[in-house]
Amino acid sequence: MISGMEQQLRALASRVRAARSVTVMTGAGVSAASGVPTFRGPEGLWRTFRPEDLATPEAFARDPALVWEWYSWRRTRVASCRPNAAHEVLARWSQDASRQVLVVTQNVDDLHLRAGTRDLIRLHGSLWETKCFNGCVAGVRAWRDEDVAAPDRLPRCPHCGGLARPAVVWFGESLDTTDVERATRAARCDVFLTVGTSAIVYPAAGFARIAQARGAFTAEINLESTPASSLVDLSILGAAEDVLPAIDRLLLSN
Ligand code: BJW
Residues of the chain with pLDDT > 70: what percent? 98
If one residue of 25, 34, 39 were mutated to test the ligand 1 pocket, choosing by the most ligand atoms within 8 A of its CB, it would be 39
4 pLDDT band (50/70/90 cuts)?
very high
pLDDT of 119 strictly over 90: yes
3 pLDDT band (50/70/90 cuts)?
low
Spatial contact of 28 and 196, defined as CB atoms under 8 Å apart = yes
Residue 25 in contact with ligand 1 by CB distance below 6 A: no
Span 217-225, average pLDDT: 98
What separation in Å is there between the alpha carbon of 152 and the centre of ligand 1? 31
What pLDDT, on the 0 to 100 scale, is given for residue 2?
57
Spatial contact of 123 and 180, defined as CB atoms under 8 Å apart = yes
What separation in Å is there between the alpha carbon of 205 and the centre of ligand 1? 8
Residue 126 in contact with ligand 1 by CB distance below 6 A: no
Span 91-105, average pLDDT: 97
Q: Residues near 247 by Cβ (< 8 Å), separated by ≥ 6?
A: 9, 12, 13, 16, 89
pLDDT digits (tens, 9 = 90+) for 22-56: 999 999 999 999 999 998 877 777 777 777 778 99
Residue 28 in contact with ligand 1 by CB distance below 6 A: yes
Task: Report the alpha-carbon distance of residue 91 to residue 74 in Å, rounded.
Answer: 23
What separation in Å is there between the alpha carbon of 161 and the centre of ligand 1? 31
Span 111-123, average pLDDT: 98
230 pLDDT band (50/70/90 cuts)?
very high
pLDDT digits (tens, 9 = 90+) for 155-182: 999 999 999 999 999 999 999 999 999 9
What pLDDT, on the 0 to 100 scale, is given for residue 134?
93
Task: Report the alpha-carbon distance of residue 246 to residue 89 in Å, rounded.
Answer: 10
* Ligand 1 nearest-atom number relative to CA 239: 5
Annotated catalytic sites, by residue?
A: 124
Q: Whose CA is nearest to atom 78 of ligand 1?
A: 29
pLDDT digits (tens, 9 = 90+) for 182-212: 999 999 999 999 999 999 999 999 999 999 9
Task: Report the alpha-carbon distance of residue 192 to residue 16 in Å, rounded.
Answer: 9
Residues of the chain with pLDDT > 90: what percent? 87
Task: Report the alpha-carbon distance of residue 71 to residue 16 in Å, rounded.
Answer: 37
